[in-house]
Structure 1
Amino acid sequence: MGLLRNESFDTGCRIEVEQSEEHFHAHVELDGNVPIGPGDRVCVHGAPISIPFGGSAVYERTATVERAGPLVRAWIKLASYFDLAELYEVSFTPRRLR
Structure 2
Amino acid sequence: MSTFRIGKRTSFDVPCTVEIEQTSETLHAHVILDGDIEIGPGDEVMVHDAPTHVDFGERLVVRRTATVVRAGLLDKIRARLEGYRELTELYEVSFSDGRVS
For residue 30 of structure 1, report the CA deviation from its aligned partner.
0.4
**Structure 1 residue 58 and structure 2 residue 51: aligned?**
no
TM-score normalised over the length of structure 2 = 0.81
Root mean square deviation of aligned Cα: 2.5
1:6 Cα deviation from its structure 2 partner? 2.4
Q: How many residues align?
A: 96
Pairing 1:70–2:73 present: yes
Paired residue secondary structure (2:18): strand
TM-score (norm 1): 0.84
Q: Which runs of 5 or more residues in structure 2 are unaligned?
A: none
**Identity percentage of aligned residues:** 50
Aligned with 2:9: secondary structure? strand
Give unmatched runs, 5+ long, in structure 1.
none
Aligned to 2:17: 14
TM superposition outliers: structure 1 runs of 4+ over 4 Å: none
Check if 1:3 corresponds to 2:6: yes
Q: Map 1:29-68 to 2 at 5 A.
A: 29-46=32-49, 48-68=51-71
Which of the two has greater strand per residue?
Answer: 1
Matched with 1:79 is: 82
**Partner residue in 2 for 1:27:** 30
